[in-house]
Amino acid sequence: MSLTPRKNKGLLTYIAIAAVIIIVLGVLIPNLEPTGQGKKYSEIMHEFDEYNVSEYTLNLKTGELEYYLEGSSDKNTYIVPNVNLFINDTDSEIADYRAGYREKHNGEEVKVDYIRGSDNSWIITVIPTILLLIMGVALFFFMIRQAGGGGKYANFGKANIRPSNGKKTTFDDVAGADEEKEELKEIVDFLKNTKKYDEIGARVPKGVLLLGPPGTGKTLLARAVAGEAGVPFFSISGSDFVEMFVGVGASRVRDLFEQAKKNSPSIVFIDEIDAVGRHRGAGLGGGHDEREQTLNQLLVEMDGFTANDNVIVMAATNRRDILDPALLRPGRFDRQIVVNYPDVKGREEILKVHAKNKPLGPDVDLKVIAKTTQGFTGADLENLLNEAALLAARQDRKAIIESDIEEATMEVIAGPEKKSHIVTDRDKKITAYHEGGHAIAAYYLETQDKVHQITVIQRGMAAGLTVTRPETDDSHMTRTKMRESIVMLLGGRVAEEIVLDDICTGASNDLERATKVARNMVTKYGFSEKLGTVVYGDDNGEVFLGKDYGHTRNYSEEIASEIDAEVRRIIAEAHEQCEAILREHIDELHLVAKYLIENEKIDGDDFKKLIHGELETEKDEKPSAEEKRSETDINIGIPEEKTPDFKLPEEKDETPEVSVDLEKETDSDNTEE
């Protein structure tokens, strides 16, 4: 098999480097030979003093001394350290040495010769330096090529365009985004039928910016547009423009658009454009100027299109707030399409797409799953079905059943169950009453969502969970619903106060969320009668997001004190309401806690039957979760109010219990359990 030109070139490079190394060693090694069989200079002089040297020759350039001892034909060599010193030591007494030698050796004459070597010592000195310099330059260019991805140095300025993987994506592969597809179909039609738009004088948007939360399908829509149009599709990430060398980003922008124009009509797609299109003048660090230079070149290229280029730029981001205004003006990104969370119909369509290659059991209803997964994105739903398939495969089943879907949903929300984790009876009792308090409060609050599941089995960082699921896709949060969501969040802490006569750290997350909701009611939504319908504080983004150094407080210290007082008032009123609900339904709280201690979890339907005394008796006769693990069952009676049977040590830091809600609100922060 013959080598490719690229491999041949690489092989020749390595051969050249090896040859240079051999040459350098060949020059240096002769100069590193031993100096005369390990003899010292004093030993050489001793031979002369004893008149034992019968013949010697000295090279005046190299200092190499060749000599023969009397009675021996072996040539000895020695590199004298200093030629002048040696001559002085010998020639000053050469006449005496000759006479002494004749006397000792019966009239024989000593042979002395001095030779002058060729004057090329400077070459020997300079060649190693030159070779080392050549090796350094070659190594530098080799590193440059490696840093450029194995290409030539000129490729640094080339755009790192991602090739198509050969799989064509169409609008049929995109579900739950009907309006978004309709807007993009116009772009596709323009690329296919340019003449129709030219005749009527219409100008199709030069740029389309896809906005929305992560996982909603922005990149998938861009691939679908390219697949439907059947034109060259140039895909690149915003971070690919950023490089360690100055000017590379701008060069890659020029190269990207040059290739797109040569292959027009075409589509240029820049994923995560916020990496290069961030607001100018708000960055930190030395790379800020380079990023701005890249952005400036991008602005020039987009504004420099002619009417016949037929190149459409598409980009995706979930951070529109940090993009430069010049990038968003008409003439660049004319059309901005928001790809939001899918509604119940969209979720059902997305589930159908991802369930095509997955066998579903007869008890699996995609419509029901769509109703109970409000706030899930397309990526979340795909992950949910994949987790369900993994669970089914783990149990050696040939199809996905409803319990797989249910467990997969919980794993996506809070992580897998930690069934092997050892939990003490005391901790389980605390968690049971805590989660029971959330559930009872939610059940008797009219605006709160239906309780779906309660569990005291640890998942992720949570010691227990109370999961509620909305029955409808609500777009707005009312003041009453937000206030009652605080009541529900305080249900765990209030239950501890009423029943256990002590409190623990498990409610820390609940208190944090409740405080955030109350503060938003006062400062963001104008729900405070005392402070009025005024928004307090400007949210300009965090410094690491690329705009400002933080939040701006546009109110006085006096107003700040009033805000804190209003937040405390809202929390206190919610606490009183929650305490009234739990005291009124204390027996139901004990029933729920007892059931959770014995069975560890309860679904929404059984929870409703339990508090109404309608739960089937055979439910209680089944082996408990503790019996299944061959452990001692916990027999706990219903404690009287304010009659604790234990105290919590102060140094114990319990893992916070988290109440989970599948809803992701649009007009307010996530506030529901």
Burial class (CB in 10 A: 0-12, 13-18, 19+), 477: buried
Local structure of 97: helix, strand or coil: helix
How far is C-alpha 181 from the chain's CA centre? 29
Asked whether 550 and 543 are in contact (CB, 8 A), the reply is: yes
CA–CA separation, 97 and 91 (whole Å): 9
As a whole-number percent, the residues of the chain with pLDDT over 90 amount to 23
Return the higher-pLDDT residue of 173 and 434: 434
What pLDDT is stored for residue 133 in this prediction? Answer: 80
Buried b / exposed e over 327-351, threshold 16 CB at 10 Å, is beeeebbebebebbbbeeebbbbbb
- Angle made by CA atoms 143, 144, 147, in degrees to the nearest 5: 85
Residue 247: which of 298, 280, 293 has the closest Cα?
Answer: 293
- As a whole number, mean pLDDT of residues 377-395 equals 92
What angle in degrees, to the nearest 10, is found between the helix axes of 425-443 and 604-611? Answer: 80
Summarize the confidence of residues 636-641 as an average pLDDT.
35
What pLDDT does 51 receive?
67
Structure tokens at 603: 């679904």
Asked if residues 439 and 431 have their Cβ atoms less than 8 Å apart, the reply is no
CA dihedral 16, 17, 23, 26 (to 10 degrees): -140
Q: Is the pLDDT of residue 543 over 70?
A: no
641 catalytic residue (yes or no): no
Alpha carbon 103 to chain centroid, angstroms: 93
Neighbour-count burial of 138, counting CB atoms closer than 10 A to its CB (0-12 exposed, 13-18 middle, 19+ buried): middle
Is 389's pLDDT higher than 90?
yes
* pLDDT at residue 278 in the model: 81
Task: Give the pTM.
Answer: 0.65
Give the amino acid at 51.
Answer: Y
Bigger pLDDT: 665 or 66?
66
What local confidence, expressed as pLDDT, does residue 390 receive? 93
Torsion of CA 593, 596, 601, 607, to 10 degrees: -50
Average pLDDT, the chain: 76
Structure token pair of residue 66: 């060749």
User: Out of 16-25, 344-353, 357-366, 461-470, which region has the weakest mean confidence (pLDDT)?
Assistant: 16-25
Q: Inform me whether the pLDDT recorded for 520 exceeds 60.
A: yes
Tens of pLDDT, residues 84-113: 767 666 655 566 666 777 777 776 776 766
Q: What is the mean pLDDT of residues 452-477?
A: 86
Q: Which two tokens stand for residue 521?
A: 């009611």
Least confident of 116-130, 221-235, 369-383, 428-442: 116-130
Q: Which of 3-12, 498-507, 585-594 has the highest mean pLDDT?
A: 585-594
17-26, 67-76, 378-387: least confident range: 17-26
Mean pLDDT of 255-279: 84
Choice between 555 and 138, residue whose per-residue pLDDT is larger: 555
Residue indicated by tokens 């002769």: 30
pLDDT of residue 431: 93
Judged against a pLDDT cut of 80, whether residue 322 lies above it is answered with yes
Q: Are 210 and 224 in contact (CB under 8 A)?
A: no
How many Å apart are CA 26 and CA 161, to the nearest integer? 47
Percentage of the chain surpassing pLDDT 70?
Answer: 69
Q: What is the pLDDT of residue 283?
A: 52
In this prediction, residue 154 carries a pLDDT of 47
Confidence of residue 331 (pLDDT cuts 50, 70, 90): confident
Identify the pLDDT of residue 122: 60
The answer to whether the beta carbons of residues 316 and 272 sit under 8 Å apart is: yes
| 104 vs 51: CA distance, rounded Å | 8
* Max CA separation in the chain (angstroms): 138
Q: Which two tokens stand for residue 646?
A: 């234990």
Q: Which residues contact 421 (CB under 8 A, 6 or more apart)?
A: 458
Least confident of 56-70, 206-220, 497-511, 528-542: 56-70
Q: Is the peptide bond before 214 cis (omega within 30 degrees of 0)?
A: no
Reported as type and span, the H/E element at residue 54 is strand 53-59
Q: Would you say residue 549 has pLDDT above 50?
A: no
Q: Is 233 helix (H, G, I), strand (E, B) or coil?
A: strand
Residue range 29-37: average pLDDT?
A: 49
* Distance, CA of 249 to chain centre: 22
292, 435, 600, 673: which one is catalytic? 435
